[in-house]
Structure 1
Amino acid sequence: SSTLYFVPALVKAMPEASLTFLLPDQPAFRSLSLGRHARALYFPRANGPAAELQRLRELFFTVPRLAREVGAQVCLTLGDLGAFGLPCPQVILLRQPLLVYSRQETAGLAAWHPLKRWYLAQHFGLAARRAARLIVQTPVMADRAARRYGLDRERISIIPQALMLDPAAEGTAEVRCRPLVRCTKPKRLLFLAAYYPHKNHSILPAVAREVQRRGLSGQVHIFLTLEPEEISAASLGPCLHQHSSLLTNLGRLSRSEVGAALRASTALFLPTLLESYGNIYLEALACGRPILTSDRDFARWMCRDLAFYFDPLDARSIVDAIESLPEREADDYAARAQEHLRSFPKDWNEVAERFAAAIRASA
């Protein structure tokens, strides 16, 4: 979770402040070192519908009460939905793209229940209009949020996320990566994504059929990174069995394996329907790998001319892009990728400094 990187960096960026964090009661968060001027309160997280009720209770009761108890001067909310009844200004981080993209843009694949969509949009819009500042990660999200909710663009800060992969780390090609490392096909595509409906794994059967129809099975292989239960959720079991000559599931990769897997691939393959950011694009660029991805506004902003774009809902368009992918990247690709990466924060300390500035300006 990016929060594990962000919290210690924010503590470092605000040595003059007394900070109180409300964090999930999980070992990874309890192991964080926060320093003397910061403390954490840990709350167990519920699952399913109970988690949504717990979240509302926190926003309407727990967070306002804690803010009063500690005499908070600013409340920073990292979870999209702002709290109500606070005794201080609020800064909200928006990361949920479903709050700014329409159901039509996701072809219904990533849709909330209509009642849930209505409530969350109403809650977010009201809290965002009252907030001292809204933080987003890209100009695309800023423009969409401002248009949809009638927000003052001057009160929206754009703070991109830092790269989570260390490109200098060699990583290890462990057992899960071996099929990719040993593959001799010229176009080895890494579909590096956990299963969520908007990641668009459902297009894979049609893509596999189109690859076979064009006689490209000997040239193309797509590697997935799904857990067994995710394969079931995506209904991909029969497809993986039927098209085993061009689809292989590696299983979920650890952070130490991601770099090795990207370097062993020909390109990152990501037919996603919506993203608020897309750190995986930066990871591919850091490893010097071309990108095959959706022709959508979020991807165009992240990747610029460093990607091959396609219609994520059209298997023929996807395979057209795969065919156009050269078997080796252009000689200047890595240099152009590194130049583009320099426009993003170099580390989490830089991200935290920019958050700290927004918090101080809102107090």
Structure 2
Amino acid sequence: MANLLITGGAGFIGGNFVHYWADKHPDDTMIVLDCLTYAGNESTIAGVEQAELVVGNILDSGLVEKLLRECDISTIVHFAAESHVDRSISGPDAFIETNILGTNSLLKAARTVWLDEGAGKPHRFHHISTDEVYGSLGPEDPAFSETTQYQPNSPYSASKASSDHLVRAYHHTFGLEVTTSNCSNNYGPYQYPEKLIPLFLLNSLYGRDLPIYGDGMNVRDWLHVEDHCRGVEACLAKGTPGETYNIGGGAELPNMAVIDRICAEVDNAFAEIDGLAERYPDAPAAKGKPTSELKTFVTDRKGHDRRYAIDETKARSELGYAPAHSFETGLANTLRWYLGNEEWWLPLAKS
């Protein structure tokens, strides 16, 4: 039995991890620390008996220290982050505050309780990062490995790169037992509808434009969130302190291919599910038209990296990690989840 502190555990990836961990480790207890910003939703983890939600900010080192002591926490899994690139361009300050200062606050608290007071008590601080810290790849460049030079190109990726360096420094300077995982683009249930897949799905249902940046050929590696959770679990169980592991989905696709697949899945759903046309009468598919007619090209965003790709050789060889979801099946299941859980996303779509 273990006690974990999950930061950002009411968000998309953190919330899925809470569900995953409760299912795979039913005897463990999770304290979820989340300040419930726009992307944090208490309903995401409602009903998970092993999880206790504490509404608070990771910048509050005193609160984190208190939780580590009183709840006898031995593991921190740090998901909490500002993560939307567009928001980082329009307002970078929040990203500096949460991603850099917030991570430093957690590290300070962990050092105080686990090292200064705990005299080397067994512990683990696992930090969730992103492949965006590596910058952008050309069409023929090799995929990102753990030794790829950091070249962040947005305020978001720069703030995550900074947090990665802080985690590494606390290990090498103070001896804190840390691991870091850099993941590719996540998708799946409970994702806030500002990211590509849920945004385009909901826009399709309401007959709204599907805005495509530039030529739509920016390439990303797509990782089902449950596979990401399995990767984090492997890092905690088998990861070497001080090491970094890249977690990918093995589905490197241009955005246009993803968008076309979303359109096709929406069309299929309207053809197969009774009553869907009545629920969403503004959808082109409700009128027998292709969802793809909503595709609209817009001006490319600033600093838009062209291609990301993950080399997960290290995670496969050292952790035994391999993605279990194909993109085709994972996307189809994700779209059906949104269609079956309107009560979760409808308040967000209206906000």
TM-score, reference length from structure 2: 0.37
TM-score, reference length from structure 1: 0.36
Pick the structure with greater CA Rg: 1
